[in-house]
Structure 1
């Protein structure tokens, strides 16, 4: 039986990982940009990011530009692999060839 990663499977977390997977390895996206793209509230996005971070799928970098705090997000190597495995498993469930 094929199992889908329950950490990624939640709709909001799937959208987050898919969006972060679309940026090149080594690049990051700011929290406000991700929030804007996904049209999520800051609290909801933070909650789902915490689950992904706890699983080791997302790296969170906090810094400052002048006096303004900025949070950057990126998929970790483990997160990219988990997303790739998830999409492969989903294709298998649907019977779709890559």
Structure 2
């Protein structure tokens, strides 16, 4: 593994979700699903991985068809995303 790259974040869809969350206070499930162009089950799987790592917090409001799921990046997620982004930039810039 390349130093600093986080395998939880590095998956393309999870990296894209973290990039969206890094620039928003909260984001809805529906918005992320449409933005990432994934199925409900695929998004749920990716967001569960981020939540299990402590990088994302989930809030569910309402019931049944009117339920809304929102996500926000946690402090640990903000730190992990910044470290991953910096490591990725260093890798892409090559050796100095």
One fold, TM greater than 0.5?
A: yes
TM-score (norm 2): 0.87
- How many angstroms apart in 1 are the aligned matches of 2:59 and 2:3? 34
Structure 2 residues without counterparts, runs of 5 or longer: none
Q: What value does the CA root-mean-square deviation take over the aligned residues? A: 1.7
Aligned to 2:67: 69
Deviation at 1:3, TM superposition (A): 3.5
TM-score (norm 1): 0.86
Q: Which structure shows the higher helix fraction?
A: 2
1:8-38 CA-to-partner distances (Å, cap 9, x unmatched) read 0111111111111121xxx211111111111
Structure 1 residues without counterparts, runs of 5 or longer: none
| Aligned residue-pair number | 92
Instruction: Name the stretch that deviates more: 74-83 or 87-96.
Output: 87-96
